[in-house]
Every structure is written in structure tokens, then in C-alpha cells.
Amino acid sequence: MLKTIRKASEKDVDRIMKFLQEAKVSTADVDSQLHPFLLLESDNGEVLATLGIHMQEGKGLLRSLVISPCVEQYEVVALFREAFKFAVEERLEKIYLYTKLNSAVDFFHLLGFQKVDVDDSPSFVKSYKQFSEAILMEKSFSV
């Protein structure tokens, strides 16, 4: 099955909302133009993975990472690479992500993320109160 990664458009909002709702993930701000999404799709247009990017203050917060069970690890890496490419194109200095899974920390380290204290992050990153028990990680870019 051929899969593609692309930036979502307005016409994808309903499909993204449905995909996130099925995964029981918050759909807050999905329809906002301030928070672009990347999609991994099957050749028949089925959404297989999403990754949102909340951008503010020259920084980004990766959010709404949802991955279907059929997605291979190399495809997840490709999705993150597209997010990194997007971050560079948007001239973001850093991107952040929260994870509640200790087991995911090593994977994110391989992608270049480092643990960081929430107090050292931008205010919009701190505002995600639902992640108060999560691990915050960041990745820097040369802009």
C-alpha cells in the first residue's frame, strides 16, 4: 500500500476530527489555521496518522500525534522528518512535545529531542495544563 505524507488543508478538517475522536484525543483548535497538521494517508485517502504543530513565538509544539496500528516505525520517523522540515521552513527555533510514556523517551532522543524543564519553556507550551504529569522534550533548529 502506497502511503503519502502531506500538510492538511481545510478540506481535511472533518476527517482529522473524526480520526482524533476515534482515538479519544482532544480536537480543540483542530480547525484553527494557527495549528497546521501533517497527515499520513493510504493510497485510498484513509488517514493513518496525524501530527499537529501549534506555532507561536518562533517555536512549535507538536500535538495530536495519533498513529494507526498498521503504520510502521519508519513511517512514523518519516512523519517526524516532515514536521522537522516544516519547522525549518517556518523558521521555528525549537519544537516541543509532551509524552506521558517513559518508553517513548528513547525514541524521541533518537529523533534529536532532549528532556527539558517546563519552567524553561515558552508560555504557550506551559499553558497545556492537561500535560502537567508528562515529560516535556525539545529539539532545536538553526535558523
Domain span at residue 117 reads 3-140
pLDDT tens digits, one per residue of 89-98: 999 999 999 9
Q: What confidence category does residue 32 fall into, taking pLDDT thresholds of 50, 70 and 90?
A: low
Instruction: Kindly state the average pLDDT of the residues 115-119.
Output: 92
Q: Per-residue pLDDT for 47 more than 90?
A: yes
Q: What are phi and psi for residue 50, nearest 5 degrees? A: -135, 155
Grid look-up 532545536 returns: 140
Count of structural domains within the chain? 1
CATH number of the domain bearing residue 61: 3.40.630.30
Residue 33 pLDDT greater than 60, yes or no = no
The 10s digit of each residue's pLDDT in 132-143 is 788 999 999 986
Per-residue pLDDT, averaged over 10-34, amounts to 82
Beta strands in the chain (DSSP E): 3-7, 37-42, 47-56, 59-67, 94-99, 114-115, 135-140
Res. 109: pLDDT tops 70: yes
Helix (H, G, I), strand (E, B) or coil at 74: helix
Calpha distance 8→117 (Å, rounded)? 31
Mean pLDDT value of segment 99-110: 92
Identify the pLDDT of residue 27.
Answer: 78
